[in-house]
Structure 1
Amino acid sequence: MHDLLRSVWDEPRPPNPPPRRWLDWALVGALGVAAVLEGVLRPDLPWRAVSVVVVVGILPTLLWRRTRPLLMVAIAFGTCAAASLVVGGDLALNTAAYLLLLQYSLLRWGSGRDAVVGSSIVFGKLLVGIILGYMSPADLIAGFGILSAAGALGAALRYRARARMRELDQVKLLERERLARDLHDTVAHHVSAMAIRAQAGLAMAASQPNAAIEALTLIESEASRALTEMRGMVRVLRRNQPVELAPSPRVSDLELLAGPARPGPAVEVEITGAADDLPPPVGAAIYRLAQESVTNARRHARRATRIEVRVAVDDTSVHLRVSDDGDTALTRPAGSSGFGLIGMIERADLLGGTCEAGPDPDRGWTVTAVLPRTGTPA
């Protein structure tokens, strides 16, 4: 209980309260006119002049009810309590019901301290009525209930807005993770190809100058593809720029990984089943998983001669297997840090699938992934 009360007391104010708008000024003007008319037209109103002056005089507190809720509650309810002590009775002006807006704002926009102190002032005003004898216990209970309802509404909207902000923060985090995966899967793939080809070109430059020229040509091609994909991502991030909507990669695009101009071990691609009928998210995920696996094999699989990419599609799921024949002890450096495998696991998990990677018993390294055909978690 102590921790709960402490957390309420230490509750910060919600950020960015709305500024004053013309509707706030219109509300104050309309309530002022209503209070004056009520004072003139109600023949049974006691202390007519005092009631109208007090109710109209504290109306401006509504203008600062979001930015200074505790101060406005203290001014409004304190003034009403003082006026009741002076006249010895209640300011029975129905227009004064707008004070419920201050109680609402106190719980909606105030800090925990503001809520505790301000509520004490509000309910202290009710106790003044009991002390002066113009309020019965039934009236006290009714007033307590109405003010509590107004405060509860403010608190409910406050925590609803907070929950919404948490959802938005979670969406932003997931979007950042998605962009990080896409950057790693696309740009890193091209950069790795450029690095491998540059190493081959340097090794053969002295004895085979034509091979070095060929390597530079391939490096230029990979760099152009990397820049194109980077520019596409930047255009997506800059929402004020027109976006060229290119189709997402599909399973059939895996054949591009086995192109004859690709450096490193030969890549063999085999696709069985109705891969063309897969939903775009599933096809894109399979392509990215295979692309990252091939990139890792080219980068780390020492003395590998081939990389096999196998995709099998059945009625319920899509199976991906990427394996190489590199030396097991040298296929992946121990303690290597990177986000490739983490991103692959996350990508598969988002679609309700699994992704695993590890060395083979005899030789090489294998990545396996299984995704539901529908692309929705089970």
Structure 2
Amino acid sequence: MIPFLRSFWSEPPVAGAPRRVWRDWALVAILTAASVVEVVVRPDIPFRWLSFAVALVGIPMLLVRRTHPLHAVAVVYGAALVMDVPWLVRGADPPGLYTNAFVLLVAYALFRWGSGRQALLGLIPMVAVATLALIFDYTGPSEAIGGSAVFLLAIAAGVAMRYRTRARATKLDEIRAREREGLARDLHDTVAHHVSAIAIRAQAGLAVAATDPHAAVDALRVIDAEATRTLAEMRTIVRDLRQDAPAELAPLPGIADVRELARTSPGEPQVHVALEGDLTGVPASVGAAAYRLAQESITNARRHARRASRIDVVVRTGDDAVTVEVTDDGEVATRDGEGYGIVGMVERAERLGGTCTAGPRDGRGWTVTAVLPLRGASA
């Protein structure tokens, strides 16, 4: 219990507490009018205008109950103490209005919006009012239990809404973090793939510029096309990052688009793509992951595989999973397995319940193998 109280004491106020809205003004107006009617109609209220004055002090505090909950509690329950104590000491029923039930809203707001310190401090005047009522105006256990239950229910509702909102905010933060990770992977895959192709073609163009101007012009055309694709895909990613931008309607890349990687990756080493199995039943999320894994693997092979002449991409669709296998025939060299590219591929596969491994082949070359369960689309 003590650790919980310490933890609750250190809790900050709930962020985003709404300020006064029209409903608050309407509530204050209705309660004020109801208090006037009650004072005029009820004959059993002693010093009725004094009771009305106390209500007028407390009711406006509903306007600040969310932004300044402790102040609202102090004023409302302080006024109740000042009003009730003389009557309770004399053994008489304290004057009060039925509309004073709004004090429950103030108690709720304190535990819903206030800091832990404010909530625990605000309990002092609340408990004082309740204790005095039990001591000097005790009418039986049923009324005491009923009144306490209503009071505790208001506090419990405030605490429940407080933690429910926090849990929802935590979940939204986790979703945003996963979205940012996915966008970071897409940005890395897109930029790395196209920029690698641009660099390769630029090097080839420089090598033949003096002897074969036409080949150099072809290289420039490829560079222009790759740059255009890079800008288009980056605009899509930036549009996803902007909350106020219209939704992107372009479909996700899928397994069928893996063939395009051979066409958009000209030069050495050559890329050969083979698609096996039924592609029609592959969920969009699995197809997009397979495409990105193949794209990143091709980029890594071109970046690291020395003297490679061929990159083979094989995508097999089975009954339960899609397997992506990318191999090259380059010289096996030390590759940075901790780079973001490999880490991103492993994370992408694991998000769908699959696996991704990378390592040297027997003899020569490098292999990346990813297995993506079809059921992972619903994960």
Specify the alignment match of 1:77 in structure 2: 77
Contact 1:218 1:261 in 2 (8 A): no
| Residue from 177, 183, 195 that aligns with 1:191 | 195
TM-score between the two structures when normalised by the length of structure 2: 0.92
- After TM superposition, list the pairs within 5 Å mapping 1:18-57 onto structure 2: 18-57=18-57
Superimposed CA distance per residue, residues 57-82 of structure 1 (whole angstroms, 9 cap, x where no aligned partner): 32111111111111111111111111
Structure 2 Cα separation of the partners of residues 74 and 165 of structure 1: 30
Contact 2:57 2:76 in 1 (8 A): no
Offset at 1:346?
1.7
SS of residue in 1 equivalent to 2:194? helix
Specify the alignment match of 2:124 in structure 1: 120
Structure 1's 67 and 374: CA in aligned 2 closer, same or farther, altered over 3 A? same
Structure 1 Cα separation of the partners of residues 133 and 284 of structure 2: 69
| Residue from 121, 135, 138 that aligns with 1:135 | 138
Structure 1 Cα separation of the partners of residues 252 and 130 of structure 2: 66
Superimposed CA distance per residue, residues 281-318 of structure 1 (whole angstroms, 9 cap, x where no aligned partner): 22221111111101110111011111111111122111
SS of residue in 2 equivalent to 1:277? coil
Structure 2 Cα separation of the partners of residues 54 and 267 of structure 1: 84
Contact 1:318 1:372 in 2 (8 A): yes
Offset at 1:35?
1.5
Specify the alignment match of 2:287 in structure 1: 283
SS of residue in 2 equivalent to 1:269? strand
| Residue from 291, 306, 310 that aligns with 1:306 | 310
Specify the alignment match of 1:167 in structure 2: 171
SS of residue in 1 equivalent to 2:324? strand
Structure 2 Cα separation of the partners of residues 322 and 156 of structure 1: 52
Contact 2:286 2:372 in 1 (8 A): yes
| Residue from 315, 321, 324 that aligns with 1:317 | 321
Structure 2 Cα separation of the partners of residues 324 and 361 of structure 1: 12
Superimposed CA distance per residue, residues 313-333 of structure 1 (whole angstroms, 9 cap, x where no aligned partner): 1221111111111111x2x43
Structure 2 Cα separation of the partners of residues 294 and 261 of structure 1: 9
27-36 or 106-115, which deviates more: 27-36
Specify the alignment match of 2:342 in structure 1: 341
SS of residue in 2 equivalent to 1:263? coil
Offset at 1:186?
1.5
Match status 1:373 vs 2:374? yes
Contact 1:123 1:144 in 2 (8 A): no
212-221 or 313-322, which deviates more: 212-221
Offset at 1:160?
0.7
Specify the alignment match of 1:181 in structure 2: 185
Superimposed CA distance per residue, residues 191-244 of structure 1 (whole angstroms, 9 cap, x where no aligned partner): 011112222222333444433332222111111111121222233444555556
Structure 1's 275 and 148: CA in aligned 2 closer, same or farther, altered over 3 A? same
Specify the alignment match of 2:96 in structure 1: 92
Match status 1:357 vs 2:375? no
Structure 2 Cα separation of the partners of residues 26 and 243 of structure 1: 38
Structure 1's 260 and 345: CA in aligned 2 closer, same or farther, altered over 3 A? closer
SS of residue in 2 equivalent to 1:370? strand
Contact 2:57 2:79 in 1 (8 A): no
SS of residue in 2 equivalent to 1:276? coil
Structure 1 Cα separation of the partners of residues 40 and 66 of structure 2: 31
226-235 or 300-309, which deviates more: 226-235
| Residue from 93, 96, 102 that aligns with 2:106 | 102
- After TM superposition, list the pairs within 5 Å mapping 1:115-264 onto structure 2: 115-131=119-135, 133-136=136-139, 138=141, 139-238=143-242, 240-242=244-246, 245-259=249-263, 262-264=266-268
349-358 or 196-205, which deviates more: 196-205
State the AA in 2 paired with 1:146.
V
Structure 1's 217 and 312: CA in aligned 2 closer, same or farther, altered over 3 A? same
Number of corresponding residues: 374
Identity %: 50
| Cα root mean square deviation, aligned | 2.1
Gaps of 5+ in 1: none
Structure 2 Cα separation of the partners of residues 118 and 260 of structure 1: 67
State the AA in 2 paired with 1:20.
R
Gaps of 5+ in 2: none
Structure 2 Cα separation of the partners of residues 261 and 179 of structure 1: 22
Structure 1 Cα separation of the partners of residues 6 and 378 of structure 2: 41
State the AA in 2 paired with 1:14.
V
TM-score between the two structures when normalised by the length of structure 1: 0.92
Structure 1 Cα separation of the partners of residues 52 and 235 of structure 2: 66
Structure 2 Cα separation of the partners of residues 244 and 166 of structure 1: 26
Structure 1 Cα separation of the partners of residues 378 and 264 of structure 2: 37
